C-alpha cells in the first residue's frame, strides 16, 4: 500500500472512530436526562428491551425518554417531574434528585478510540514481522554472510 493511501485510510479510521466516540458519549449522556427540560407527569416506566436491565423508558406527558436505571427508579407513574435543561437536579414530586452521567458516558467513547488504535498497532506489528525477511539479500546484511576462502 502506498504512503498516501495508508495516510488516507488512517485518516478515515481516525475520523470514523472520533465520530463513533462523540456519538456514543452523547447517547450515553442523554440517558442521564441532564440535557432535557422536563415539566410534566410520569405516565409510565418500563424496561428497555435488550438493555440488560440498565435502561428504562420513562414516559412523561406522552413523550418517551430512555433513562439510566438509577434515574428511572426515582420516578413512578403519576409523579410530577420538573427540571430545567442542562440542570443536574430534578424535582420529583417535591424530592430533589441529583442526576449524574453513567459510567457508560466515558467507557463507550474510550472503547471507540482504543479499538482502532489497537488495530493500527497490530497492523504495524504485522507489517514489521512480514517485511523482515524481504529484500534483495533475503533479510541478511553483508556482515551476516560468512566469508569464503579461495580454494
Q: Are 63 and 57 in contact (CB under 8 A)?
A: no
Q: Where are the alpha helices (DSSP H) in 1-151?
A: 3-30, 69-72, 104-131
Q: What number is the average pLDDT over the span 78-103?
A: 95
Q: In the structure, what pLDDT confidence band is assigned to residue 40 with cuts at 50, 70 and 90? A: very high
Based on the number of CB atoms within 10 Å of its own CB, is 32 exposed (0-12), middle (13-18) or buried (19 or more)? buried
Average pLDDT of the chain to the nearest whole number? 83
Is residue 149 scored above 80 in pLDDT? no
The rounded distance, in Å, linking the Cα atoms of 18 and 132 is 33
| C-alpha pair distances (Å), 86 with each of 17, 37, 61, 90, 103 | 27, 7, 20, 10, 18
Is residue 49 scored above 90 in pLDDT? no
Residue-range domain boundaries for the chain: 1-31+102-119, 35-101
The distance of Cα 50 from the centroid of its chain, to the nearest Å, equals: 18
The distance of Cα 128 from the centroid of its chain, to the nearest Å, equals: 30
The rounded distance, in Å, linking the Cα atoms of 27 and 48 is 15
pTM over cut 0.75:
no
Amino acid at each position: 500500500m502506498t504512503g498516501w493511501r495508508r495516510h488516507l485510510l488512517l485518516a478515515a479510521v481516525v475520523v470514523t472512530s472520533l465520530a463513533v466516540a462523540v456519538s456514543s458519549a452523547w447517547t450515553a449522556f442523554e440517558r442521564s436526562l441532564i440535557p432535557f427540560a422536563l415539566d410534566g407527569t410520569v405516565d409510565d416506566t418500563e424496561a428497555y428491551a435488550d438493555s440488560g436491565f440498565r435502561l428504562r423508558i420513562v414516559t412523561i406527558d406522552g413523550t418517551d425518554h430512555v433513562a439510566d436505571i438509577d434515574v428511572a427508579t426515582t420516578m413512578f407513574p403519576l409523579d410530577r417531574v420538573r427540571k430545567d435543561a442542562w440542570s443536574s437536579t430534578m424535582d420529583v414530586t417535591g424530592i430533589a434528585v441529583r442526576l449524574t452521567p453513567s459510567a457508560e458516558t466515558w467507557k463507550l467513547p474510550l472503547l471507540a478510540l482504543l479499538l482502532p488504535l489497537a488495530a493500527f498497532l497490530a497492523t504495524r506489528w504485522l507489517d514489521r514481522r512480514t517485511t523482515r525477511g524481504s529484500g534483495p539479500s533475503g533479510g541478511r546484511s553483508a556482515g551476516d554472510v560468512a566469508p569464503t576462502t579461495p580454494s
